[in-house]
Structure 1
Amino acid sequence: MKAPKLVGPAAKADTTYEVGYAKPPTETRFKPGRSGNLKGRPRGAKNKRPALNEERLKDIVLEEAYRNITVRDGDRNVSIPMAQAVVRSMAVNAAKGQHRAQRLFAEMLSSTERQNKQLADDWLNTAMEYKVEWERELHRREMLGITNLPSPLPHPDQVKIDMNTGLVHIEGPATKEQLAQVELWRGRQQVFKEELCEVEEMLKQERKPARVAQLQEEKLQVETVLEIIGQLLGKIDWNGQGGT
């Protein structure tokens, strides 16, 4: 006759165990000595090489370059990006007469100015080509009586080119989104103008001092809002065809 095996308390059926929050069913609970993650972390996962489309080192460099650090500026401490601190240190050493710092700073400055000049030239050429081509197209439409096509954004009249300086700027909305914003603020401006007229009309008819004071305060508030909207819109006179 075999002796009965000793069964620990955890192995016995627990007829009083209630399933609920933080109490999963017995058959799904973790077993003692057995990991919940059977496969575990793959070997070498921590040091796995980045995929071809990842640029992990570039991200690290950029993160460090633009991380703010505290430096001494005269008699006070200032917080500036690491890249700015490096350039500032190089410029200070160049000013002190260090030849290597002078050469590096001059090369960096020359390269930066050359790149900025190239960008400005490209922008000028692009603006001139855009303006000329669209003026030709709009003239063609006018000659053929074509009126059902939308105007370009930006309109060539909005593209302002200063031939003396080579600078280009665009007056008025240059995209559909900007146009929508202008139209939105134009609509709000009209609403407040109508409200201002109503307040001024009520002021003409009101005789009670308290009510007059209240209406004058409302008028001042509406005029302030209109001034703010006017500043946002600037001097743009957008009518769907171009700015002035």
Structure 2
Amino acid sequence: MTGRKKDLVNLPAKTDYAVGYAKPPAGSQFKPGQSGNPKGRPRGSKNKVPALNEERLKDIILAEAYREIKVREGERSVSLPMAQAIVRALAVNAAKGQHRAQRLFAEMLSTTERQNKALADEWLETAIEYKVEWERESERRARLGITDLAEPLPHPDQVIINLNNDTAHVQGPMTKKQKEVVEHWTQKRADWADEVEMLDEQLAKDLKDRTRQFFEDDKQRSLKLIAMVDDLLDKIEY
């Protein structure tokens, strides 16, 4: 069969009238007593709500869980996240002796404590491994006289392990950015301390009341800033 004959194989069937405006092909015309849509319109299709994206639904649930609501607590109203209010109501009912509430609250508490313990154990194991491995590496560098490699951050000396209560924490900055911030404020603290020392020298002189007050105000401002930096460094145990 030639190519041209192949092209003719699927030609539409001939009709006994000209297909045109208001004259569709006979095969596609509506027939008497037969619906053009046999299955009909799907029930409820007109008002069907689009399915929510799974992630968006999670956002909605979390937004509701942490939405602030007013609850009565004794003689006053307090604002609590929805989730906290529900847990509190459950705990109160458990304390009142409701067996279902007691069982549910006990299960929630047990699950939460078990998850927290697992996370704490994982953190302790990670901290110990980090400290041990970097101490070995520091000893290796010292033994071989290697001095051109950067120190780890946090330094293993910053990782404090307490095996008495199975805890670990890091003293001081943990990242390069945090270290830069700490060093910046440590330097500012030193500058303010120098300023206080200079102001004390000026205040030791015989000054006019107005000048003395100016120096005293400046000193108090510097002392306040030093205290703020000290508080920041105390929080990170630096």
Q: Deviations over 1:140-191 (max 9, x none)?
A: 1111111111111111100001101011111111111210111110121122
Residues 38-187 of structure 1 correspond to what in structure 2 (within 5 A)?
47-50=49-52, 54-187=54-187
Give the Å deviation of 1:220.
2.6
- CA distance 1:213–1:49, shift in 2 (3 Å): closer
Counterpart Cα distance in 1 of 2:140 and 2:157: 16
Match of 2:229 in 1: 229
- CA distance 1:144–1:72, shift in 2 (3 Å): same
**Equivalent residue letter for 1:85:** A
- CA distance 1:198–1:217, shift in 2 (3 Å): same
- CA distance 1:67–1:212, shift in 2 (3 Å): closer
SS of equivalent residue, structure 2 residue 79 = strand
1:199 has 2:199 as partner: yes
Number of matched residues?
Answer: 194
- CA distance 1:111–1:209, shift in 2 (3 Å): same
**Equivalent residue letter for 1:81:** P
Give the Å deviation of 1:236.
7.3
Match of 1:27 in 2: none
**Equivalent residue letter for 2:92:** V
Counterpart Cα distance in 2 of 1:213 and 1:143: 59
Q: Deviations over 1:38-97 (max 9, x none)?
A: xxxxx99x844456xx42322221111111111111111111111111111111111121
Counterpart Cα distance in 2 of 1:203 and 1:147: 47
* Higher RCO (C-alpha 8 Å, min separation 6): 1
Give the Å deviation of 1:200.
2.4
- CA distance 1:224–1:58, shift in 2 (3 Å): closer
SS of equivalent residue, structure 2 residue 178 = helix
Q: Deviations over 1:73-127 (max 9, x none)?
A: 1111111111111111111111121111111111111000000100110010000
Counterpart Cα distance in 1 of 2:178 and 2:141: 25
Counterpart Cα distance in 2 of 1:50 and 1:72: 34
**Alignment gaps of 5+ in structure 2:** 1-44
Q: Deviations over 1:182-225 (max 9, x none)?
A: 11101211221222232223234444343233323322322222
Counterpart Cα distance in 1 of 2:117 and 2:110: 10
Match of 1:218 in 2: 218
**Equivalent residue letter for 2:140:** R
- CA distance 1:233–1:70, shift in 2 (3 Å): same
Counterpart Cα distance in 2 of 1:131 and 1:166: 15
Structure exhibiting the larger radius of gyration computed from Cα positions: 2
Identity of aligned residues (%): 54
Counterpart Cα distance in 2 of 1:216 and 1:227: 16
Q: Deviations over 1:128-147 (max 9, x none)?
A: 00000000111111111111
- CA distance 1:95–1:203, shift in 2 (3 Å): closer
* TM-score normalised over the length of structure 2: 0.74
* TM-score normalised over the length of structure 1: 0.72
Provide the alpha-carbon RMSD of the alignment.
Answer: 2.4
Counterpart Cα distance in 2 of 1:127 and 1:94: 39
Give the Å deviation of 1:226.
1.8
